[in-house]
Amino acid sequence: MKRLSTAATAALISWFSLAANAAQDTIFTDFDGQPRSIESFAGNGKWLVVMIWAHDCPICNQEAESYAMFHEAHKDKDASVLGVSIDGAAHKADAQAFIDRHALPFPNIIGEPQPVMLYYMMQTQSQFRGTPTIMVYDPNGQLVAAQAGAVPTDIIEKFIAKQMQTGDAQPEPAKAAGG
């Protein structure tokens, strides 16, 4: 196996460091162009289900309605949904059409594909595999589950119920009251 030179190794480490920082600092935008982050939606005393989607993903199109119904059923109680489009600026109009077509009642933010993938990898220590991808944050804003592919909302409801029943991931009183 060929060894990298010291300069090549330093350059590679520098690139990974920049990529990691970029992933940590990723700021998505809402569809009005305002900077947002996933963290700004998490930790408000409710569970947050993040659906990473793309406008041309057939499974995302199939699953959108069930996530809309999940959001409506839980938003005033214990959970909400956040959509994250990986369509980027080039396909922002297509992403907006997806939101409109499915009448999504939950907030959606958008980011460029590569930074979204890096963000996911930094948060989960796992490779991004495609859309849809689901991430679940507990009421305190801690990432507690991530899954590539479709996840039926009844499975998410059972997961949340089990976590609440076992006493895991209960909201901290100050955050729940102030959220």
Residue 142 falls within a domain, yes or no?
Answer: yes
Neighbours of 71 (CB within 10 A): 21
Q: What's the domain range around 99?
A: 30-178
Q: What is the pLDDT of residues 26-70, one digit of tens each?
A: 479 999 999 999 999 999 999 999 999 999 999 999 999 999 999
pLDDT for 6 equals: 63
Please give the tally of structural domains in the chain: 1
The string of DSSP letters for 50-114 reads EEEE-TT-HHHHHHHHHHHHHHHHHTTTTEEEEEEE--TGGGHHHHHHHHHHTT--S-EEE--HH
Residue 139 falls within a domain, yes or no?
Answer: yes
CATH number at residue 109: 3.40.30.10
Residue 9 falls within a domain, yes or no?
Answer: no
pLDDT for 166 equals: 85
pLDDT for 176 equals: 33
Residue 5 falls within a domain, yes or no?
Answer: no
CA 134 from chain centre, in angstroms, equals 7
pLDDT for 8 equals: 53
Query: What is the distance between the alpha carbons of residues 124 and 134, in angstroms, rounded to a whole number?
Result: 11
pLDDT for 149 equals: 94
Whole-structure pTM value:
0.81
pLDDT for 178 equals: 33
pLDDT for 154 equals: 97
pLDDT for 135 equals: 98
Which residues in the chain show pLDDT less than 50? Answer: 1, 12-14, 16-17, 20-24, 26, 171-179
